[in-house]
Copies of this chain bind each other. A is one copy, B any other.
Amino acid sequence: MKRVKVSNNVIRRMPRYLRKLDELAENGVDKISSRQLGEQLGLTSSQVRQDFNCFGEFGQQGYGYNVATLRERIAAILGMDRGFTAILLGVGNIGRALMENFCFTDWGVSLTAAFDIKPALIGTEYRGVHIYGMDELDRYLSENKVDIAVLTVPKTVAVGVTGTLTARGIDAIWNFTNVELTEPGSRTLVENVHFSDSLLSLCYYVAERSDEAAARAARGEK
């Protein structure tokens, strides 16, 4: 695929478009205008068109987008058709929650192995995925193609495990540990999952609503 530099904000909207298009398809919608799509996502129609324009021609003027075609294009942009493989490091609560509830294959990623240090887990399978000992990680990486490491280990070992990964050339990490893994300028791609960002955004809106209610009360409205 030909690539132009696209802003991070645009890229982060792509998965949201994808989910919305899946929902539309599920509801039997087969075409949609940029205005309608924008409305459903809290975006303007021109923002929607600009976002897609980053990746070439998508719709037909005056007709709108074909839902299935647009979905396929976005899936390709996001690399969902590349056969990416992932391994999961740390089969604790969050690791198990992902293995149990998160359908990696729905997003084009195969979870091929998991790793832990607990003897009771090693050699077993969880949700169809084999759990290896953490001391087998280096050998596994030398023998298997791994695109993404899902990091769900305890904080204390996060940096050490990352060292093993990067030494073997694994440089895409989905990081659930809340530990800053790389220096600025590092070649490793780290996607941090910060639950706090999400909770605090919600808190903002709760606080805002409470302030608005207080202001209304002060004005004698109800």
**A interface, CB within 8 angstroms of B:** 1, 3, 8-9, 11-12, 14-16, 18-19, 23, 40, 42, 77-80, 82, 84, 92-94, 96-98, 100-102, 104, 106-109, 147-148, 172, 174, 180, 184, 189, 191, 193-212, 215
Contacts and interface: CB of A to CB of B under 8 A. Distances in A.
**For the complex formed by this chain, how many copies does it contain in all?**
2
A81 to B, nearest CB: 9
- Interface SS of A by simple majority: helix
A19 B78 contact: no
Contacts of A108: 203
Given A15-B196, A19-B196, A97-B92, A205 B189 contact: yes
A108 B15 CA distance: 30
A148 B202 contact: yes
Contacts of A8: 42
B14 A205 contact: no
Contacts of A147: 206
B84 A180 contact: no
18 contacts: A3-B215, A11-B201, A12-B197, A15-B197, A18-B200, A19-B196, A23-B180, A77-B204, A79-B204, A82-B203, A93-B93, A97-B97, A107-B200, A148-B199, A174-B198, A189-B206, A191-B198, A191-B199
A201 to B, nearest CB: 6
A210 B82 contact: yes
Contact of A15 (B96, B97, B200, B208): B200
Contacts of A77: 204, 207
A175 to B, nearest CB: 9
A206 B172 contact: yes
A199 to B, nearest CB: 6
Contacts of A172: 202, 205-206
A96 B147 CA distance: 29
Contacts of A191: 198-199, 201-202, 205
Given A97-B92, A194-B15, A204-B77, A107 B199 contact: yes
